[in-house]
Amino acid sequence: MEIKMTLKPERERNSDSIKNAESLSFGKLRSDHMFLMNYEGGVWKDARIVPYGPVEVMPGAVALHYGQSVFEGAKAFRHEDGEIYTFRFEENAKRMNHSLSTLCMPEIPVDIQMEATLKLLDVERDWCPAQPESSLYIRPFVFGTEDALGMEPSATYTYCIMLSPSGAYYPGGFKNTVRLLITDRFHRAVSGGTGSAKCCGNYGQAFRAAKLSKTYGAKQVLYLDSSNTYIEEVGAMNHFHITKDKTIVIPEFTDSILKSITSISVMELAKSLGYEVRQERIRINDFIEQVKSGDIIEAGGFGTAAVITPVCEYIFENNEVITVGDCTIGENIRKIYDAYTAIQTGDAEDKFGWLTKVPRG
Ligand code: PLP
Ligand code: COI
């Protein structure tokens, strides 16, 4: 694919700011450039890398009215050799296509998504931070741009990849555990809906419940299925727990749960560390009982941004709180977190072949 480059002059680039920062917040900073490509007349065209800035959109664009918009989240890491590596980006590209087809949008071949991302990362390599728990967060997204108010899929689209030098998603990073709200009044997704796609509507509609969770001192909501029977997932991560016989249990992927790349990776890694791993439908009542009885000893969330986030408390709307273990980061979560992040940062051998080095030039 030919990628047209319109780059900022060197003197106008300022990635030094990230090198001097003690720690970085999540998702606030931008690198100098972005990748853009348009879909028109049935083809993807005009691949280009340009300075990061506003993208013109007509007020009648389908994405703005009917939410025809999907995104991905991936990370690139700076290793000690000074090179930049992406983590399982092909999986993100495949999932992007799942999301695109779910929303009746045109797919983008995986190799094109890969090439665009690697090229942008090459241009922006100075923006990849080296601080602990930091990465260059990759946010590809596609949105319908046709100026048409009939309720039909857009005929035109824009694919954009932007980069954000970022630190931990939850402030403080891995040293903290979090509390989740369990509510039976709000749901993230329903069977037959779009929960397994990474589409904007799933997130915008979840702000209301997330806002409620804050009033309970919680970071997020642990969503149940719409019959309030089974555990589904958290707003920005899959959920897991570890039983006292050291089995890692993750809710079965259904069409209302996003198939997390962190989850599938940790399952593979944990097996190699000697853990049993199981996916099943988990009844919320069984979960509560097993937390109370001590059969569940650790719990948390898996996600690209959230990595492995330990959860220590669950609160209900009647203010009842249940606590997992002694509310510290458990030894199993710590062991898995260390092994997982060591592969990402290059401190351990990439024995699963998850990393791709960003080629130079
Ligand atoms: N579930 C939801 C709803 C998410 O937004 C995310 C984040 O991407 C995840 C799970 C974790 O998925 P992944 O590990 O692929 O980032
Ligand atoms: C990610 O983990 O990459 C996500 O997309 C979650 C996001 C909602 C912050």
Q: Whose CA is nearest to atom 12 of ligand 1?
A: 260
Q: State residue 230 phi and psi, 5-degree precision.
A: -115, 150
Over residues 293-315, the pLDDT tens digits come to 999 999 999 999 999 999 999 99
Q: Whose CA is nearest to atom 10 of ligand 1?
A: 237
For residue 76, the model assigns a pLDDT of: 98
Q: Per DSSP, which regions of 226-316 are E strands?
A: 231-234, 237-243, 247-251, 276-280, 296-303, 307-316
Please tell me the distance from the alpha carbon of residue 341 to that of residue 184, in angstroms, as a whole number: 34
| Whether residue 303 has its Cβ less than 6 Å from ligand 2 | yes
What would the two tokens of residue 73 be? 């989240």
pLDDT over threshold 90, residue 14 = no
Q: State residue 188 phi and psi, 5-degree precision.
A: -85, -40
| Whether residue 301 has its Cβ less than 6 Å from ligand 2 | no
Which atom of ligand 2 approaches the CA of 235 most closely?
Answer: 8
Share of the chain above pLDDT 90, in %: 96
| Whether residue 236 has its Cβ less than 6 Å from ligand 2 | yes
Q: Whose CA is nearest to atom 7 of ligand 2?
A: 236
Mean pLDDT of 311-321: 98
| Whether residue 234 has its Cβ less than 6 Å from ligand 2 | no
| Whether residue 73 has its Cβ less than 6 Å from ligand 2 | yes
pLDDT category, 101, cuts 50, 70, 90?
very high
Over residues 137-182, the pLDDT tens digits come to 999 999 999 999 999 999 999 999 999 999 999 988 999 999 999 9
Please tell me the distance from the alpha carbon of residue 94 to that of residue 97, in angstroms, as a whole number: 5
Provide the Cα torsion 95, 96, 100, 103; round to 10°: 70
For residue 162, the model assigns a pLDDT of: 98
pLDDT category, 235, cuts 50, 70, 90?
very high
β-bridge partners, 51: 33
Please tell me the distance from the alpha carbon of residue 26 to that of residue 216, in angstroms, as a whole number: 23
* Average pLDDT value over all residues in the chain: 97
Which atom of ligand 1 approaches the CA of 263 most closely?
Answer: 14
Q: Whose CA is nearest to atom 5 of ligand 2?
A: 73
Question: CB neighbours of 352 closer than 8 A, spacing ≥ 6?
Answer: 265, 268, 269, 343
Full-model pTM: 0.98
Q: State residue 206 phi and psi, 5-degree precision.
A: -90, -10
Q: Distance, CA 166 to ligand 1 centroid (Å)? A: 16
More confidently predicted of 17 and 301 = 301
Distances (CA, A) of 193 to 168, 186, 190, 351: 30, 15, 5, 37
Asked whether 176 and 239 are in contact (CB, 8 A), the reply is: no
Question: CB neighbours of 299 closer than 8 A, spacing ≥ 6?
Answer: 239, 240, 241, 242, 291, 310, 311, 312, 324
Q: Distance, CA 74 to ligand 2 centroid (Å)? A: 8
pLDDT over threshold 90, residue 1 = yes
For residue 346, the model assigns a pLDDT of: 98
pLDDT over threshold 90, residue 21 = no
Please tell me the distance from the alpha carbon of residue 90 to that of residue 111, in angstroms, as a whole number: 8
Q: Distance, CA 335 to ligand 2 centroid (Å)? A: 23
Share of the chain above pLDDT 70, in %: 100
Burial of 249 (0-12, 13-18, 19+ CB in 10 A): buried
pLDDT category, 22, cuts 50, 70, 90?
confident
pLDDT category, 23, cuts 50, 70, 90?
confident
For residue 107, the model assigns a pLDDT of: 98
Number of the ligand closest to the Cα of 138: 2
Residues contacting ligand 1 via CB (< 6 Å):
73, 233, 236-238, 258, 260-262, 302-304
pLDDT category, 20, cuts 50, 70, 90?
confident
pLDDT over threshold 90, residue 19 = no
Q: CA angle at residue 316 from 314 to 321, to 5 degrees? A: 50
Best probe residue, ligand 1, of 70, 254, 258, 340 (max atoms within 8 Å of C-beta): 258
Q: Whose CA is nearest to atom 3 of ligand 1?
A: 236
Which atom of ligand 2 approaches the CA of 304 most closely?
Answer: 2
Residue whose structure tokens are 């946010």: 139
Least confident of 22-26, 83-87, 357-361: 22-26
